[in-house]
Structure 1
Amino acid sequence: MDLNSIHNIYFVGIGGIGMSALARYFKANNKQVAGYDKTQTDITDALEKLGIPVHFQDAVKNIGDAFLDKKTTLVVYTPAVPKDHKEFEYFNSQGFVVLKRSQVLGIITQNTFCLAIAGTHGKTTTTSILGHLMYESDVALTAFLGGVSENYNSNLISNGSEVSVVEADEFDRSFLTLSPDIACITSMDADHLDVYGEADALNDSFVAFSKRLKPKGKLFIKNGLPLQGITYGIEDDSDYSVQNIKIKNGAYVFDVKTPKTILKDLEFNLPGRHNLSNALIALAMAVEYGCPYQRLAKALASYRGVKRRFSYHIKTENLVFIDDYAHHPEEINAVYQAVREMYPEKRVLAIFQPHLYTRTRDFVDEFAKSLSQFDEVMLLDIYPARELPIEGVTSEWLLGKIDSNNKQLVDKLELLDKIRESKAQIVLTIGAGDIGEQVKHIKKEFSVAK
């Protein structure tokens, strides 16, 4: 498909983090952009400030005349949109070109030098680190992020179009639309079993992704994964390895062994070994691309993170409040490890909103084990996203499996009162649903230390 012949881009589900990055990209490239989403959010507000019309009622009359010409309009949708969506049905029935977000991303990146980050965990942080490293190295790139970068206050980093940096999303096998020059796989833990059915099918999709590289492409693999490639790891014998880790003033200081040299005394400010691993692979991919070591070291030290990825909102002697997007047991384990490394003696409260009925069902025992590590646990109701309820799959069911004397179900309306009653010095909000909307309320209420 020739995007140059397309003048209008209409998004069904424009408020999604990946969709809104594409909307920003097309707006910056002088396309006429508009879209629908079911909920007004900070993301849709930001799009409207860019001059992108967004409406929140599903009705064909709201689409806008400019987007009703099928010859000049491309319709982009997210798989989260229900098939009986009126606008979506209209575009399909009238013969418009209707593509998934991942397909459009594949078209955009096919004529660029593409660096793609795949894996069940770490994609967004790694992509944003890599985008930042290459931007600071003056590479003419566009990076599409699955989160909002703290450095750029955006999910799009752009100063050119020669290079693209993208998340390679395994959900719905979306990453098989990409053909990267350099790619990595950070992890292959079972997830999205509502799509794949079983873990072996998910593993097969990662194998298929590894074969999508362009000729002479390079594949990086987290050490221990069952694939062949350039390996990376922490304090091991990988091709790229973090060595001599120290913590100074709340930041990691470490060396990196590469196949050709050792980079000394690098600094990285995000806590958690999982984030250190993300920083390593981003650095390794930038090195393989050809970015100069000195620029990379300076850029790594200046990286500030992604919103809702171990994001500090209160940081005082009496109270620390951190928000994180973790929605898989392994991600919760990583958050726990990071908190314990930074605050080994303090009492920690985890407020968790399970994401999806199927994921809760498939990993209930793993969720219970990961949450049992915290001193106190509060559970919100399951966030359904695209799913209908499953009988017996509830937060109360999960709560019963958590091994803790300090656990409870909490309604959003009573959340502030329950936090006030807690004796914890560290408060975590965790989950991929709308728990993020509670952050501003918690921050406002407790900015004066408890």
Structure 2
Amino acid sequence: MDLNQIQRLYFLGAGGIGMSALARYMHRLGKKVAGYDRTCTPLTMELTGEGIPVHYSDDPALIPQSFRDKKNTLVVYTPALPGAHAELNYFKKAGFRLMKRAELLGEVSKGRPSVAVAGTHGKTSVSTLVAHLLATTENGCTAFLGGISKNYGSNLIMTGQNPWFVLEADEFDRSFLRLYPTHAVVTSLDADHLDIYGDHRHLQQAFNEFVSHLPPGGILLIKKGLPVECPEEIRKYTYSVKEDADFTPENREYRKGMWSFDLKTPEGRIPCLKSANLGKAGLENAVASAAVAWLLGAGTDELRSGLESFEGVKRRFDFHIRTAEVVYMDDYAHHPEELKACIEAVRDSFPGRKITGIFQPHLYTRTRDFAVDFARSLDLLDTCILVDIYPAREEPLPGVTADTIRQHMRKPDAVIRCKKEEIIPALEPLDLDVLLTLGAGDIDTRVTDIKKWLQKRFELS
């Protein structure tokens, strides 16, 4: 498809993190952009403020008249839409050109030098840090992110001459198989999205296929030990914080939330790098991101300044209060391994302090498939508040609730069950020290209220 011939794009699910980045990009190119989402959020309000109108009722009558000309309009939709979606079916019946989000991302990046960051977790943090490292170089980059960069206040970054594209490669719905990058990163390969893949083996096969999309001479950077096949014509590099690899941190030290380390590369050592990424997972992300930037030609001073100036990603180790009296942090963790890494990082950063976590499970299928693993991760908390499952695209499954996790936890007396709206009453009798909100659903809509309540309780300004 020649995107130059497309004058208008209509996004079904415009408020999604990946969809909104593409909507912003197309709008920046001068295209007319509008869309639908089922919920009004700060992100959709930002889109409207930028000149991208969004409405919130699934009603074909609300589609702007200028987007009803199928000759020059492309309809982009998220696979999370239900089959009975009225606007989607209107466009299908009228013969409009329709494209999934991942297909459009593939079209946008086709033929360009690009870095695609894949992995069942860690990809948003790594892709955002890679984008920041490249954006601060003379050439800059264009990046489509799965989170909001704190440095840029957006999930779309466009700086400099934009020769490099940074893509977050999502394995959900096999979306990343629509991408053909010149460089790829694989951060992790834990079982996930089993509603799509069936089992871990088929997920691994999809990652192998993703890597096979690299061109001859392309570069793969992979966390050492992951079972991903690499074709012979691809240049493969490894990174690790636990064992020797092509890229490893040496002389590392963690003090007051800041890592300092020397980066060992295939050609020597880069001394005195510093990164505020929290915990061992944060160090791993910093090493992977610095390795990518180094492979793309970033200099020592650029790496050093880029790492030190990185402010992070919203909802990734996102501190809202950090005082001697109380700490409050929000994180997107929604997989057992992510929860474990997050809680361990917090415990390493605040040794000896009591940690209370509020967790909202995401998806009935994920809760069913990983209930025991969720329980083991949440057992790392001193007190756990479990709220109801966020369904997203799914219908309820018989017998699957947040209690499915609770029944496997080893400290049932340390678990509190409540609805999302009942969180603050559940917190009131607790002795709070370090508080976390965790999950990928809409738990973040309670962050502001929780923060205000904590500020009042602890008499913080």
Note if contact 1:316-1:449 (Cα within 8 Å) is conserved in structure 2: no
Q: Which residue of 2 aligns with 1:436?
A: 444
- Residues 234-290 of structure 1 show CA distances to partners (whole Å, capped at 9, x for unaligned) of 142100111121123321111110000111111101211112111111111111111
Q: Which residue of 2 aligns with 1:21?
A: 21
2: CA distance between counterparts of 1:302 and 1:148? 16
Q: Which residue of 2 aligns with 1:297?
A: 304
1: CA distance between counterparts of 2:323 and 2:19? 36
Tell me, yes or no, if structure 1 residue 389 matches structure 2 residue 390: no
Cα shift at 1:449: 5.2
Q: Which amino acid aligns with 2:97?
A: V
Q: Which residue of 2 aligns with 1:370?
A: 377
Note if contact 1:137-1:296 (Cα within 8 Å) is conserved in structure 2: no
Cα shift at 1:422: 1.3
The 10-residue stretch of structure 1 (397-406 or 422-431) with the greater mean CA deviation from structure 2: 397-406
Cα shift at 1:420: 2.1
Tell me, yes or no, if structure 1 residue 361 matches structure 2 residue 362: no
Q: Which residue of 2 aligns with 1:400?
A: 407
Tell me, yes or no, if structure 1 residue 268 matches structure 2 residue 269: no
Alignment of 1:179-218 (within 5 A): 179-218=180-219
| TM value normalised by structure 1 | 0.98
Q: Which amino acid aligns with 1:26?
A: M
Cα shift at 1:83: 1.2
Alignment of 1:38-437 (within 5 A): 38-159=38-159, 160-227=161-228, 228=230, 229-404=236-411, 405-437=413-445
Note if contact 1:118-1:169 (Cα within 8 Å) is conserved in structure 2: yes
Note if contact 1:235-1:242 (Cα within 8 Å) is conserved in structure 2: no
SS class of match (1:314): strand
2: CA distance between counterparts of 1:401 and 1:423? 25
Note if contact 1:36-1:56 (Cα within 8 Å) is conserved in structure 2: yes
Gaps of 5+ in 1: none
2: CA distance between counterparts of 1:144 and 1:257? 29
- Residues 174-201 of structure 1 show CA distances to partners (whole Å, capped at 9, x for unaligned) of 1111111111110110000000001100
2: CA distance between counterparts of 1:320 and 1:115? 35
Q: Which residue of 1 aligns with 2:233?
A: none
Cα shift at 1:353: 0.3
1: CA distance between counterparts of 2:2 and 2:299? 35
Cα shift at 1:414: 2.0
2: CA distance between counterparts of 1:447 and 1:243? 40
Question: Does the C-alpha gap of structure 1 residues 247 and 448 become closer, same or farther in structure 2, counting only changes over 3 Å?
Answer: farther
1: CA distance between counterparts of 2:427 and 2:56? 33
Gaps of 5+ in 2: 231-235
2: CA distance between counterparts of 1:244 and 1:147? 31
- Residues 383-430 of structure 1 show CA distances to partners (whole Å, capped at 9, x for unaligned) of 000000000111122112111131110122221122121113000000
2: CA distance between counterparts of 1:338 and 1:249? 12
2: CA distance between counterparts of 1:105 and 1:214? 18
Cα shift at 1:140: 3.6
Note if contact 2:7-2:32 (Cα within 8 Å) is conserved in structure 1: yes
SS class of match (1:20): helix
Cα shift at 1:297: 0.9
Note if contact 2:204-2:227 (Cα within 8 Å) is conserved in structure 1: no
Note if contact 1:112-1:161 (Cα within 8 Å) is conserved in structure 2: no
2: CA distance between counterparts of 1:264 and 1:449? 44
Question: Does the C-alpha gap of structure 1 residues 238 and 449 become closer, same or farther in structure 2, counting only changes over 3 Å?
Answer: farther
SS class of match (1:120): coil
Q: Which amino acid aligns with 1:128?
A: T
2: CA distance between counterparts of 1:33 and 1:295? 36
Identity %, equivalent residues:
46
Q: Which amino acid aligns with 1:39?
A: T
2: CA distance between counterparts of 1:207 and 1:172? 15
The 10-residue stretch of structure 1 (349-358 or 240-249) with the greater mean CA deviation from structure 2: 240-249
Note if contact 2:367-2:404 (Cα within 8 Å) is conserved in structure 1: no
2: CA distance between counterparts of 1:443 and 1:332? 21
The 10-residue stretch of structure 1 (385-394 or 152-161) with the greater mean CA deviation from structure 2: 152-161
Tell me, yes or no, if structure 1 residue 446 matches structure 2 residue 457: no
1: CA distance between counterparts of 2:457 and 2:345? 22
1: CA distance between counterparts of 2:305 and 2:113? 24
How many residues align? The count is: 450
Note if contact 1:318-1:449 (Cα within 8 Å) is conserved in structure 2: no
Note if contact 2:139-2:162 (Cα within 8 Å) is conserved in structure 1: no
2: CA distance between counterparts of 1:226 and 1:250? 32
2: CA distance between counterparts of 1:312 and 1:287? 29
2: CA distance between counterparts of 1:417 and 1:316? 23
SS class of match (1:301): helix
Alignment of 1:29-44 (within 5 A): 29-44=29-44
2: CA distance between counterparts of 1:338 and 1:393? 29
Q: Which amino acid aligns with 1:162?
A: P
Cα shift at 1:49: 0.7
2: CA distance between counterparts of 1:264 and 1:176? 37
| TM value normalised by structure 2 | 0.96
Note if contact 1:346-1:424 (Cα within 8 Å) is conserved in structure 2: no
- Residues 160-181 of structure 1 show CA distances to partners (whole Å, capped at 9, x for unaligned) of 4421100111111111111111
Alignment of 1:3-14 (within 5 A): 3-14=3-14
2: CA distance between counterparts of 1:15 and 1:264? 42
Note if contact 1:319-1:449 (Cα within 8 Å) is conserved in structure 2: no
Instruction: Tell me the C-alpha RMSD between the 2 structures.
Output: 1.0
